[in-house]
Amino acid sequence: MTRIIPVLRVFDYAKTIEFYVDWLGANIEWEYKPGGSPFYMQIAIRDLAINLSQHHGECSPGALVILEGFEDLAAYHQLLHDKKYPFMNPGLEQVEWDPDTIRMRVIDPFYNVIEFNEQRKSRG
């Protein structure tokens, strides 16, 4: 099976952990953080992997990543809301061009956007 793993640019380790691990509930699958050097890590939100890099030149901040097929998005949205993260309070909305899809967008401290999509009815 082929997987595509997006790489997002981040700048600060503590803010990265606060946003991705503490708030979004991601697991750190592995990280490379040699003394004094920029870090690189792979996180997973459920089974969806994202790489986070502090290295310049690998990617630019301000990317958009769409995670399709996210199940129980309303429950996940409520979980995030209940954590009362002071820097983000995302909404949950129906996608205008697809009435069977709901989405939630979050923006990390480095201006990367992660869009979670749930298809409420099977297509076809």
H-run or E-run covering 16: helix 13-16
Q: Domain locations in the chain?
A: 7-119
pLDDT digit string (tens) for 1-56? Answer: 788 999 999 999 999 999 999 999 999 999 999 887 899 999 999 989 999 999 98
- Global pTM exceeds 0.95: no
Q: What is the CATH number of domain 7-119?
A: 3.10.180.10
Paired tokens of 30: 């592995």
